[in-house]
Amino acid sequence: MGQPDPVRPEWAAPAGEGQWAVLVRAVPGARKSACEGTADGRLKVRLAAPAVDNKANKALEEFVASALGMRRNRVHLVSGHTSRLKKLIVESDVEPSWGLLGTCGK
């Protein structure tokens, strides 16, 4: 597997052909959705949506897709549905511009 890409943040990694894993620490119920840096190797994202009826999970997928400039159907929550620690899969043939996520909301 070789050395990690120096430009790739610690919370992003290849996850298969055309897929990228994104580790997130979600904080629902914020005043507005925004990235807040990293926490324990995960991208910390505050979400304006509440953690009820899957609203925060959907808001997270939409937020990440929007920040990366992709359609919402290219981002999927694959683990952590009822936890603050989540794993998303981003579908993209080329590596996304992670800097767009690392600086969003700042």
Looking at this protein, which amino acid is placed at residue 106? Answer: K
CATH of 24-94, one of 3.40.50.720, 2.60.120.380, 3.10.180.10, 3.30.1200.10: 3.30.1200.10
Averaged pLDDT of the chain: 89
SS3 content of the chain, % helix, strand, coil (to 5): 20, 35, 45
Residue burial 56-71, b: 16+ Cβ < 10 Å; e: rest: bbebbbebbbebbebe
Q: What is the mean pLDDT of each run of 10 residues along the chain (106 residues)?
A: 64 94 95 91 94 94 95 96 96 90 59
| Per-domain residue ranges of the chain | 24-94
Task: Look up residue 4 and give its DSSP letter.
Answer: P
